Amino acid sequence: MPNFVCTTCGTQYPESLLPAEHCVICTEERQYVGWKGQLWTTLAELRTGHRNRFETEADGLVGVGTEPAFAIGQRALHFMTPAGGVLWDCISLVDDATVAALQTLGGVSAMAISHPHFYSSMVDWSRALGGVPVYLNALDRAWVIRDDPAIRYWEGAALAIAPGVTLIHCGGHFAGSTVLHWAAGDGGLGALLVGDTIMVGQDRRTASFMYSYPNLIPLNARAVGRIAAALEPYQFEQIFGGWFGKNILEGGTQALRYSARRYLHAIAERAEG
């Protein structure tokens, strides 16, 4: 039986003869059902009209995304550590060509995903890469549509998954929303991989924060303060968002501090108005 994939959010469901009536990810207020109604595809169908492309985002950091764009359109990121390769965030399309290309880059020893909107085909990805562990924050366990023994639910403020690679719990967008700190990024100045726990702005100099991006629901001051506080112990020159090119390539620590202050000031001004 196929594993149906929601065409709006890209989440893959357990095997079934027929697709679910509704995608539980899309019917929740942070997401939306596509304007043409609930539609489904499968990996086999997706492979007929889509392919994955690789693009270097920075030294040692390679993006992997699908074209034409599918679902939310995010890209994953691959980098190497002394303990092996790490794949941050996930996309729906899994195919042999992409797996072979990742092996050429050094392979993948672990996966980690920022939040449920990017869980996509994580189980098939893990299996295609040899059963590698997939690290998810335990606070988002209820949003895992297709569970698997490869999934490692973690708790607490932070978790080191490889030398110099730390998952940091931020919350905000989802209860378990997570970012990844790569200490060796940017030649040792540090890089922060954020998905959309923190959304890099179009100016690529600042960032912002939302509970729902498509439905324009902001975060409150307490949530943004928690995100800023969680990242205060870490230094990073660069910030890499969830889409190709959505990156801050210098002054990342200062940019995040400024962006948090700007956001808090803006919502305070609106409240006063």
Cα angle vertex 101, ends 96, 107, to 5°? 100
- Where in the sequence is the domain holding 7, given as residue range(s)? 3-37+50-272
Structural domain includes residue 43: no
Q: CATH number of the domain at 266, please.
A: 3.60.15.10
| Per-residue pLDDT at 273 | 46
pLDDT tens sequence across 232-246: 999 999 999 999 999
Spatial CB neighbours of 92, under 8 Å, sequence gap ≥ 6: 5, 10, 11, 12, 43, 46, 66, 70, 71, 120, 121
**Residues 63, 55: contact at Cβ < 8 Å?**
yes
CB 102 within 8 A of CB 85: yes
Whether 94 is in a domain gets the answer yes
Secondary structure (3-state) at 13? strand
Number of domains observed in the structure of the chain: 1
- The answer to whether residue 45 sits within a structural domain is no
Domain-located, residue 42: no
User: Tens digit of pLDDT for each residue in 69-114?
Assistant: 999 999 999 999 999 999 999 999 999 999 999 999 999 999 999 9
In a domain, 214, yes or no: yes
What does pTM read for this prediction? 0.96
